[in-house]
Amino acid sequence: MLDILVPDFRVIAPELILIVTAFVIIFWELITRTARHGMSIFLGAAGTLVALAVTASLAQKTISTFGDALVLDPFASFFKMIFLVGLLLTIAISTRYMVDEGTKDHSEYYGLLILAVVGMMVLATGRELITIFLGLELMSMSLYVLAGLFKTDVRSNEAALKYFVLGSFATCFMLFGMSYIYGIAGTTHLRQIGRAIAENPALLADKGLILGMFTLLVGFAFKISAVPFHQWTPDVYEGAPTSVTAFMSAGPKAAAFAAMIRVLMEALPLMKTDWELLFTVVAVLTMTVGNLVALAQESVKRMLAYSSIAHVGYILIAFVASVGGHADRALSAILFYLLAYTFMNTGAFAILIFLRREGISGEKLDDFAGLSRRSPIGALAMLIFLFSLAGIPPTAGFAAKLSVFYAAVQGGYYALVVIGVINSAVAAYYYLRVVVVMYMQEPATEGGYAGTSPLLWAGIALALAGTIVLGVLPGGVLEAARLSVISLL
């Protein structure tokens, strides 16, 4: 019988900091009974920054603890940084929106955002199926509540309920798959699963294992909203509060990718041929469906929801390329893409929030009419975000797409690249349509905006800086991403 030793808390140091932050935020409000947002925002941002600093200081380390159930490696650290940057951006752009919407539940809002990030971090560090499941549920539960934060708004309620029901449904599949894998490999630890399969190659042909893997992947595919498990995405993204949508479309997806990459790379690398074909089909479907349906949208928020589906398709190209190409380049392209997407997508949503004022949601295409005249800087920022989403140089989106396609070309997946490029061309249409409306149409109504907060501008500026810096100087970050995925291979 082994002793239960004190674990190495450095592994979960940022998580612990965030948990404490969330508790303090919630209890500060309970005790003082204030209805003001200021303290929550301050505490949230401070906790995030401290967590970011701690993560950065540990970025080079590889430590595992809790009986190897949690591992802090550069891979996990890179993802943690993505989540924390996303959280920071979300907090910055939420402030004015939450005040304007007049919600009283601000401490819950920031607390849940932070707890969702804790869940994501557990997903990225977990090296064991149960732990991964725990992280996934912590993240999902927080998001279900966040989607329904506006209790009096029917759309928000609908979004929360749909997300909850379908999310639970997908979770069932995931648990089902995990149980099969556990049943066949005899362990839930990823490395040990990989070893068990390697030692007994007969397992590779085991239908139970394939069934288990595929049902597990259904769960992940649901979380990253890959076609055909994407249908919840537009409804939920449209109904949820805009700041929550901005948050949901970047971080949680990245977290699901992190866990999926780790599971497939550490536990099931020998089943490559099976999931290569699967993801090839899914990638093509995801890109195409996402882009085509986005074309037909009139609501910018919904358009961005579909575009986020399409972007998952591009990322999946790189995932496929990790099988036949240089795995380190392909996986680092995913990491880079997710980071770039966090900046540009959150930025685009920030502009939606910026546009919102009395009587106008800021979500319709018409709301953008003549923005260049009403707010030249806002229009310019949106232009850069849209260019980046469309993949036009010299923005982060271009560098990300380039690295993804480059990885695919190296692996010889020419057909996928061609489909990807055609899809990018289609996507350019609906992004540029917004630009046309912004710059070439007369404003439908006169009038300024509800007072913008400096914090919102700071968020937009940070997103802009990320979008441009990653676009102009992608080399360093790409190399960091490459170094951080090497430990998985």
Note the residues at the interface with another protein (CB under 8 A).
Answer: 1-6, 23, 26-27, 30, 161-162, 165-166, 169-170, 173, 183-184, 186, 207, 210-211, 214-215, 217-218, 221-222, 228-229, 231-232, 234-235, 274, 277-278, 281, 289, 291-296, 329, 406, 410, 426, 429, 473, 475-476, 478-479
Closer to another protein by Cβ: residue 177 or 370? 177
> Nearer to another protein by C-beta: 33 or 359?
33
Question: Minimum Å distance from CB 159 to another protein?
Answer: 11
Q: Which is nearer to another protein, 64 or 288 (CB)?
A: 288
**CB of 218 or CB of 390, closer to another protein:** 218
Q: State which residue, 119 or 459, has the beta carbon closest to another protein.
A: 119
Query: What is the DSSP code string of 352-395?
Result: HHHH-BTTB-S-BGGGGTTHHHH-HHHHHHHHHHHHHHHT-TTS
Residue 68 — φ and ψ, nearest 5°?
Answer: 65, 15
Geometric angle at alpha carbon 399, from 393 and 405, rounded to 5°: 115
Q: Which is nearer to another protein, 28 or 449 (CB)?
A: 28
SS3 60: coil
Nearest to 268 by CA among 215, 311, 314, 309: 215
| Positive or negative torsion for Cα 260, 261, 264, 266 | negative
Minimum Å distance from CB 341 to another protein?
A: 20
Nearer to another protein, 255 or 427 (CB): 427
Give me the least distance between CB of 22 and another protein, in Å please.
11
> Minimum CB separation from another protein for residue 487, in Å?
21
Give the helix/strand (H/E) hosting 481. Answer: helix 474-485
Residue 300 CB, nearest approach to another protein (Å): 16
Q: How far is the CB of 363 from another protein (least distance, A)?
A: 17
Q: How far is the CB of 402 from another protein (least distance, A)?
A: 8
Q: How far is the CB of 339 from another protein (least distance, A)?
A: 17
Residue with tokens 């690398």: 269
CA distance 252 to 139: 7
Residue of 118, 393, 233 lying closest to 110 (CA atoms): 118
CB of 345 to another protein, least distance (A): 21
Q: Which is nearer to another protein, 162 or 311 (CB)?
A: 162
CB-CB contact of 314 with 337 (8 Å): yes
Residue/partner pairs of 179-185 with CB below 8 Å, 24 or more apart: 179/212, 180/208, 180/209, 180/211, 180/212, 180/215, 181/129, 181/209, 181/212, 181/213, 181/216, 181/267, 182/129, 183/208, 183/212, 184/208, 184/209, 184/212, 185/209, 185/267
Beta carbon nearer to another protein, 231 or 361: 231
What does DSSP assign to residue 216?
H
Q: Which residue reads 């536990």 in tokens?
A: 267
| CA neighbor of 382 nearest in space, from 402, 365, 399 | 365
